[in-house]
Amino acid sequence: MASRAQGVRPSTSCPSVAALLEALRPKQWLKNVILFAALVFSRHTFDMPYVAKAVVATALFCLLASTGYLFNDLCDAAADREHPEKRKRPIASGRLPRSLAIAVMGAGGIGSLTGAYALSTAFGATCTAYLVLTVTYTLHFKHLVILDVMGIAALFILRAVAGATAIDVVISPWFLICVAFLSLFLAMNKRLSELLLLEKAATQHRKNLGEYTPQLLERMINIVTAGAIMSYALYTFDVGAHPQRPSRLMLTIPFVLYGIFRYQYLVSRFGEGGAPEQTLISDRPMVINAALYAISVILILHWPD
């Protein structure tokens, strides 16, 4: 009897482990790549002490972000069941027990913040601000029109700041403005995708979707698209500017333009945008463009004067 019972346990626990891994949303860790921006743009790309700190900081931030995703899914389980895609999430579908999700959420939050403060007080404080904003966003901001997308932008800005505080470098305000516009661009396209996908059932999933219209979102997207392009262009002048020559980082502007235009094409032509991280890694031209952009930035910033 004992051996039979032992033989049953793996088959019942494995689905929960798989569901937990899915609930941690490792695909969305792609967003945390922005923590490496400070490392690259401060010209420490090949300085191993800085690289090690950046890698550890990003790993801790991924754990912290996953804690926030668990909290979000626990709070939104009922609403997610009304969504054609989100109803498949582990907690909403019942594949992940709430008790296990709560236990992992608590352990992940405490563990990630402890590690963050051990790495740097400033980095720990930034991570604390991120966690507080995540909780506030889940409970309040995500239900308020306009403030919901602004909350997403603030979370991206904190990611960029976290990357700078982890390695103790200064980050340009222009870069933070650019991050804000790009995150608003992605968030508004996501809202537009949700609105078009859910149609009349949109307000059942998210009440504030009823406050948006496709026309309003398209106008707002046009504004933040222009803001993102302009702020990045100004940033290229700010980084490594030399009194006798223009910044060579200007040469990367075409990659940014293509990335934004390609994303808009995918949203308009194929209805992408509901899962930005999936769109960014599944479209081959986008991946190639991102790789060429990264290589260009590294070569330009480390090219001898």
Instruction: For residues 30 and 86, give the distance between their C-alpha atoms in angstroms, rounded to a whole number.
Output: 19
Within this chain, do residues 38 and 59 fall inside the same structural domain, yes or no?
A: yes
Within this chain, do residues 205 and 267 fall inside the same structural domain, yes or no?
A: yes
Within this chain, do residues 35 and 50 fall inside the same structural domain, yes or no?
A: yes
CATH number at 30 reads 1.10.357.140
Within this chain, do residues 41 and 166 fall inside the same structural domain, yes or no?
A: yes
Within this chain, do residues 259 and 305 fall inside the same structural domain, yes or no?
A: yes
Asked if 151 and 142 touch (Cβ cutoff 8 Å), the reply is yes
Does a structural domain hold residue 4?
no
- Per-residue confidence (pLDDT) for residue 203, from 0 to 100: 56
Within this chain, do residues 183 and 261 fall inside the same structural domain, yes or no?
A: yes
Within this chain, do residues 167 and 204 fall inside the same structural domain, yes or no?
A: no
Q: Please tell me the pTM assigned to this model.
A: 0.86
For residue 93, which amino acid is it? S
- Per-residue confidence (pLDDT) for residue 199, from 0 to 100: 63
| Structural domain for 68, as ranges | 21-171
- Per-residue confidence (pLDDT) for residue 4, from 0 to 100: 42
Does a structural domain hold residue 13?
no
Does a structural domain hold residue 202?
yes
Which DSSP symbol is given to 144?
S
How many structural domains are present in the chain?
2
Does a structural domain hold residue 120?
yes
Within this chain, do residues 197 and 163 fall inside the same structural domain, yes or no?
A: no
Question: pLDDT tens digits, residue range 96-147?
Answer: 999 999 999 999 999 999 999 999 999 999 999 999 999 999 999 988 999 9
Mean pLDDT of 230-239: 87
Joined together, the tokens standing for residue 48 give 């191993």
Does a structural domain hold residue 280?
yes
Burial of 90 (0-12, 13-18, 19+ CB in 10 A): buried
Does a structural domain hold residue 118?
yes
Does a structural domain hold residue 146?
yes
State what percent of residues in the chain have pLDDT above 70.
89
Does a structural domain hold residue 163?
yes
